[in-house]
Amino acid sequence: MPDDPEPGFPVGDHGQPPGRGSEAKRKDDHMAGFIATIREGHNALIARIAGIAAIGGMLFGYDTGVISGALLYIKRDLGAGTFEQELIVSSLLVGAMLGAGLSGWTAKRIGRRWTKVISGSVYVVGSLGAAFAVSVPMLVGFRVLLGLAVGTASFVSPLYISELAPPRIRGGLTSFNQLAVTVGILAAYLVNYAFSGVAHDWRWMLGLAALPGAALAVGMLTVPSSPRWLVQQGREEQARRVVERLREGDPHADVDAELDDIRTAARETGRTGIGALWAPKLRPLLLIGLGLALAQQFVGINTVIYYAPTILSATGLSAGGAIGQSVFVGVTNVVFTVIAIVLLDRVGRRGLLLAGTAGIVLGLALLGVFFLLPGLQQQAPWLALAALLLYIASFAVGLGPVFWLMISEVFPLPVRNIAMSACTVGNWAANFVVSLTFLSLVQVITRPGTFFLYTGISLLALLFFWRKIPETQGRSLEQIQQQLTG
């Protein structure tokens, strides 16, 4: 699959942007932040590329949210029992684990760009197949296929964006992917509401996902390959053209220095298979990546996404009222992810992660107390929604975007594909475990016991982050590599 010439990138030479000067640096130091920076002309192209790549996150979010509403009607039409319903939900997660593992290989072999083109195409096929399914096994099969595409996109999107973005706004741009996840979840809630009661309701809900899948596949044909991947393939002239075009007009850029850093990182190959991750220098980085991956799911985020109406209905709301209030959860998720995008390159990753995780602990503790005290449920039924919104806002501003951002930053270039793939597989596996056990936990240790369990896990995660997570704000990927591996 040829990548030459790059779409939208003329073969002719571009003038090299001026080097970094003290005057330009002072201007940078006093910039108003991410929004002001992204408005500059030389960042508009990168923002467009990041927006297209982040459609992969929307696929992730939409399929995460849509099944909660569609399942009510699938059960009716296909006669799905309890086990079959669990199979329909979890089959996507199984496919996502496989896709995340496979995409580490494809991102290295055929590149980040073509991997995303293929994942968007597979998503279209999976969405339409699921919409036209006539039996539970057929639906499960297409849900696995959808999972392959979702798992691939969830890994490659932040990797690709981080490798094209300049350090000053890499945090915000890479978090476009997490914003797209939250938009996809909210869109799923709204689509579920809009098509409930319409003829072929669940088929429309599942089939509409083909539109963003097609947009991803077509959009990725118009953007360049990662310059870091091009250097790894020995295509340095093409990598230079991409970097020059991306940094054109940026007074803070130094194309030669950036390419030198990429070449140096690419030369330090050593072992690049899965065994390389156990090298002494890389073990601490793998601990960071897997720690973030597991914590992001074991704090219980997908119990809220998958079961928000169930949780709210337990407060005494009708089914319709619970579904309506769950939209507030989706809106809060989007709003606070936007806030995170604005703050990540000003406040830093570590500060937002710690503050957000502390908020998660508080929100889960409040939910546990609410369900523990019957009198509180009668006197303050609004507290459950308030605690859920605090929880989801804290997740959206911290652990939600920071996990995907940091695993795209901390690993050295030679093992970045396989390391991010391993962390993404771990994240999807934890998602599978949490989603599969939530209702069972509620039955065994009660609803307040379940939320107190998640509170304890969140507190342990907060302590882990405090001790182990570094700050990566404002450094190039190669500088981060040098800092963390010595």
Which stretch of DSSP H or E encloses residue 275? none
Euclidean distance between CA atoms 486 and 475, whole angstroms: 15
Burial of 20 (C-beta count, 10 Å sphere; 0-12/13-18/19+): middle
Helices 236-246 and 255-267 meet at what angle, rounded to 10? Answer: 140
φ and ψ at 398, to 5 degrees? -125, -90
Please state, in angstroms and rounded to a whole number, the distance separating the CA atoms of residues 35 and 48.
Answer: 14
Rounded distance between C-alpha atoms, residue 381 and residue 471, angstroms: 40
Residue 77, Cβ neighbours under 10 Å: how many? 13
C-alpha distance across the termini of the chain, in Å: 37
Query: What token pair was written down for 207?
Result: 């089939």
pLDDT of amino acid 434: 83
- Give, in degrees to the nearest 5, the angle at Cα 33 between 31 and 34: 130
Interacting residues of 103 by C-beta distance below 8 A, sequence separation 6+: 115, 119, 151, 152, 155, 156, 421, 424
Residue for token pair 């970097």: 243
Nearest residue to 226 (alpha-carbon basis) of 108, 120, 103 = 108
Residue 61 near residue 185, CB atoms below 8 Å: yes
Q: Write out the two tokens for 389.
A: 């919104």
Whole-number Å distance between alpha carbons of 270 and 470: 25
| pLDDT digits (tens), the chain, 486 positions | 444 445 644 433 333 333 444 444 434 443 445 555 555 545 677 888 888 988 988 888 888 778 877 877 888 888 887 778 778 888 888 898 888 888 878 888 899 999 999 999 999 999 999 999 999 999 999 999 999 998 888 778 888 888 888 877 777 777 788 788 888 988 888 888 788 778 888 899 999 999 999 999 999 999 999 888 898 888 889 989 988 888 877 767 777 888 887 777 666 554 555 566 666 677 888 889 999 999 999 998 877 766 666 666 666 666 556 666 767 888 888 899 889 888 887 888 899 999 999 999 999 999 899 889 887 877 887 788 888 899 999 999 999 889 888 888 888 877 777 888 888 889 988 988 887 777 778 888 988 898 899 999 999 999 999 998 888 777 776 677 776 765
Nearest to 416 by CA among 104, 117, 166: 104
CA distance 441 to 32: 47
**Cβ distance 408 to 178 under 8 Å?**
no
Task: Give the Cα separation of 257 and 233 in Å (integer).
Answer: 19
pLDDT at 134: 93
pLDDT the model gives residue 480: 73
Q: Which is it for the CA torsion 359, 363, 369, 372, positive or negative?
A: negative
Q: How many other CB atoms are found less than 10 A from the CB of residue 2?
A: 5
Global pTM?
Answer: 0.73
Would you list the DSSP string of 305-338? HHHHHHHHHTTT--HHHHHHHHHHHHHHHHHHHH
Alpha helices, DSSP H only, in 314-412? 319-347, 349-372, 374-379, 382-397, 399-407
Distance of alpha carbon 49 from alpha carbon 165, whole angstroms: 10
Say what the pLDDT of residue 2 is: 45
Determine the number of helices (DSSP H) and then strands (DSSP E) in the chain: 24, 0
Residue 486 is predicted with a pLDDT of: 59
Closest CA to 360 of 455, 460, 447, 288: 455
Greatest pairwise CA separation for the chain in angstroms: 73
CB-CB contact of 59 with 150 (8 Å) = yes
Tell me whether the omega of the peptide bond preceding residue 5 falls within 30 degrees of 0, making it cis.
Answer: yes
Written as one letter, the residue type at 449 is G
Q: Give the pLDDT of residue 11.
A: 37
- Which pLDDT score, from 0 to 100, does residue 38 have? 54
Tokens in use for 345? 């390159």
How confident is the model at residue 272, as a pLDDT?
Answer: 52
Closest CA to 358 of 472, 467, 470, 455: 455
Q: Which tokens go with 99?
A: 């896709």
Alpha carbon distance 336, 140 (integer Å): 33
Q: CA-to-CA distance for 475 and 111, rounded, in angstroms?
A: 24
